[in-house]
Amino acid sequence: AAMFTDSSAPGADVEPLWRSARSARCQARSCQTRNISTVETAAQSHTSRDASVQTEQSKDALYDFQQEVQVDYAGLLAFLQRVEDTVIKELKKNWESRAFDGFAVNWTDQNETVLCLHTLSYPAAQDQNLQVTSVSWNATGSVVACSYGRLDDGDWSTEKSYICTWNLDRRGLNPKHPDLVVDVPSSVMCLAFHPSQPSLVAGGLFSGELVVWDTSRTEDPVILRTGMTDDTHTDPVYQVNWLPDAKHRNQTRLLSASTDGKILVWREERDGRLVLAEGFALVAQQIPRSSWLKKVACGEAAVGVTSLSFSHFDPRVFMVGVEGGYSLQCCTAAVTPALHRTGSSVPLRAPAELAFSPHGGPVYSVSCSPFHRQVLGTDPGAAPRAQNLFLSCGTDGEVHLHSMLQTQPLVSLQLSKKYLFCVRWSPVRPLVFAAASGEVHLFDLARSAQKPAVSMKQAAGEHPVYCLEFNTKQTQLLAAGDATGAIKVWQLSSDFTEQRPREVTHLEQLASESMD
Amino acid sequence: GIPVRTTLDNSTTVQYAALLQQLIMKARSTVRDIDPQNDLTFLRIRSKKREIMVAPDKDYLLVVVQNPCE
């Protein structure tokens, strides 16, 4: 029989693993890289040599591009013979084609009206009853500067005046608060921005001095001045221009014209002074005589210059408008010495070459056309004569369109009974010009040679507009400054900003039919 | 392209040559993209002031600038 007995089984033991596992996994180890060996050394070059490289001027620069290519003339001839017929056929078709008559494409939105974009003024100057004597756009076309002064004062004035600039492209433009105001101890009569450096502006003062300001400097904007020396003008400076310097390509010189008959060219010296480089003097005796000039005072009377304009095509030729009412064509390359009484450090020359028929009163503004007109000489061997057109206006209320080849005006327009203070050609349309009297008149010779296309009333009452400038970079803008001390920036309609297809030839036709 | 013969002044010639070379290539590839069997024979550009005509070839380009009468 099976017997149940007591027994006890030994218990089962489970070894804890975690301790041994832990101890099994932990081991202390260390390692070390081998020694990194470092060595200190120094290097220095102790000999040097100078070598320079220069390219040599190629002898015939003109024909360079033709000599580079190895032309296979036989192949070229074969090509030309192949295409000759096609090209001649196309040329003939073009000449006779009527397909594109009256076809015009609008690339930009047409703007139909002329409107006043901004009216800018400086209240402190207006409180002193100062008038805007001159406006100028800067090289980039975004800043307009104006000079305050008085144009109707006959006496010597020692009033302080201002130069104000506004940046029209800036957001938050405040028309009554100019971006920059410069105090000037005397009235500023004329202003001109530098043609390529956007912050330099030159002005001519009532005292006869010239000053150049740098509008980017905040402490003292004056960088150059002529000071009062024996060379400075003895009368107010009515026109100041920047001239490219023929010898030093990156320097420019300043030209100033004043009613004391002198036209002076200044260059800058290191200590901030402007020193006379060359000069011209207009003396009544040296004006080329014509029949109507016999009544002019003879002798060494100075001929007062009120305005000046350079020809766009020959940088030595400039037109001058004088108080006597006529315009003169002058050349900077003149050599005859002037019969000027007072001594000056640089000998003055007489520049006048041709006198044009006069207005009934002093000429206040001349402007040379930026569009070229070339008339070929009738002889086969003669060089083409470049003929420039220019406008002049004066106190008789007339605008004369002159050609530099003849003394009588081509077209003479009686604009108004009032004085005309400024006339300017449009920089984009060869047949358009603007004239300023009580209103701003825009003339389009394509539409009518007698009446203005548009007349814009600038200021209420009898306050005339004294100065006008077209903006050459943003061609739809025209700035006009008036006697109330405000500048209006007008936006012109697209009629005035886009050149028509045959405008230049129209201009030539207009000039030639008046000549014959 | 490199100008070989010209009746205009240098700077204008170089400008025309460079610009029209690129335009001819673009015009030719446009024509051939539309129809690969086709090829460019002549290019005329009419602008407000004048008309430019280009006759292309494998190695040469002939450019003629004409003032149209209106």
Q: Where are the domains of chain A?
A: 123-375+385-432
Nearest chain A residue to B47 by CA distance is A501
| Contact call for A90 and B3, based on CB within 8 A | no
| ipTM here | 0.77
- Which distant-in-sequence residues (6+ apart) come within 8 Å of A434 by Cβ? A423, A424, A426, A440, A441, A442, A443, A468, A470, A478
pLDDT of residue B30: 94
In whole angstroms, give the CA distance from residue A293 to residue A296. 5
In whole angstroms, give the CA distance from residue A240 to residue A151. 16
The structure tokens listed for A286 are 């040296």
Phi and psi at residue A88, to the nearest 5°: -65, -40
Q: Looking at beta carbons, which residues of chain A come within 8 Å of B43?
A: none
| Contact call for A91 and B53, based on CB within 8 A | yes
Q: Looking at beta carbons, which residues of chain B come within 8 Å of A79?
A: 57, 59-60, 62
**C-alpha separations of A128 from A123, A148, A205, A298, A482 in Å:** 9, 10, 18, 41, 15
By DSSP bridging, strand A411-414 and strand A200-205 are unpaired
pLDDT of residue A64: 44
In a domain, B20, yes or no: yes
pLDDT of residue A379: 47
Tens digits of pLDDT across chain A (516 residues) = 678 888 888 888 887 777 666 666 667 888 888 888 888 888 887 777 778 777 765 554 444 444 455 677 888 888 888 888 888 888 888 888 777 777 777 777 666 778 888 888 888 888 888 888 889 998 888 888 888 887 766 555 667 888 888 888 887 788 888 888 888 888 888 899 988 888 889 988 888 888 888 888 877 788 888 877 777 888 888 888 888 766 665 677 888 888 888 888 888 877 778 888 888 888 777 777 655 555 555 555 667 888 888 887 777 888 888 888 888 888 887 777 777 656 667 777 877 888 888 888 888 888 888 876 555 444 444 444 456 788 888 888 888 888 877 778 888 888 777 888 888 888 888 888 888 888 888 888 878 777 888 888 877 677 888 888 998 888 888 888 888 888 888 888 877 777 776 777 777 777 676 654
pLDDT of residue B33: 94
Nearest chain A residue to B50 by CA distance is A501
| Contact call for A75 and B41, based on CB within 8 A | no
pLDDT of residue B25: 92
Q: What's A152-189 look like in SS3? A: CCCCCCCCCEEEEEEECCCCCCCCCCCCEEEEECCCEE
| Contact call for B2 and A65, based on CB within 8 A | yes
In a domain, B2, yes or no: no
Of A307, A425, A309, whose CA–CA distance to A365 is shortest?
A: A307
| Contact call for B70 and A501, based on CB within 8 A | yes
CATH superfamily ID and name for A123-375+385-432: YVTN repeat-like/Quinoprotein amine dehydrogenase (2.130.10.10)
Per-residue pLDDT of B33-51, as tens digits, reads 999 999 998 999 988 778 8
In a domain, B5, yes or no: no
**C-alpha separations of A90 from A61, A93, A102, A104, A460 in Å:** 35, 5, 20, 21, 59
Write out the residue range of the structural domain in which residue B44 sits: 10-66
Residue A240: in which H helix or E strand, if any?
strand A237-244
pLDDT of residue A65: 47
Nearest chain A residue to B67 by CA distance is A95
pLDDT of residue B24: 93
| Contact call for B4 and A71, based on CB within 8 A | yes
Task: Select the more confidently predicted residue: B70 or A261.
Answer: A261
Domain harbouring B15, CATH code: 3.30.450.30
Predicted confidence (pLDDT) at residue B27 exceeds the cutoff of 90: yes
Residue A77: in which H helix or E strand, if any?
helix A73-96
Q: What's A91-136 look like in SS3? A: HHHHHHCCCCCCCCCCCCCCCCCCEEEEEEECHHHHHCCCEEEEEE
| Mutation for B interface: A90, A497, A508, most B CBs within 10 A | A90
Q: Looking at beta carbons, which residues of chain A come within 8 Å of B46?
A: 100
The answer to whether the beta carbons of residues A426 and A386 sit under 8 Å apart is no
| Mutation for B interface: A64, A73, A79, most B CBs within 10 A | A79
The label of the residue with tokens 């129809």 reads: B35
DSSP A183-228: EESS-EEEEEE-SS-TTEEEEEETTS-EEEEETT-SS--EEEE--S
SS3 A487: strand
| Contact call for B60 and A82, based on CB within 8 A | no
Is the pTM of the predicted complex or chain greater than 0.80? no
Kindly calculate the radius of gyration of chain A based on its CA atoms and give it in whole angstroms: 38
- Total domains present in chain B: 1
The structure tokens listed for A129 are 């009853």
Q: Looking at beta carbons, which residues of chain B come within 8 Å of A91?
A: 53, 64, 66
pLDDT of residue B20: 92
pLDDT of residue A386: 54
Of A457, A460, A424, whose CA–CA distance to A440 is shortest?
A: A457
The answer to whether the beta carbons of residues A333 and A318 sit under 8 Å apart is no
pLDDT of residue A382: 45
pLDDT of residue A387: 64
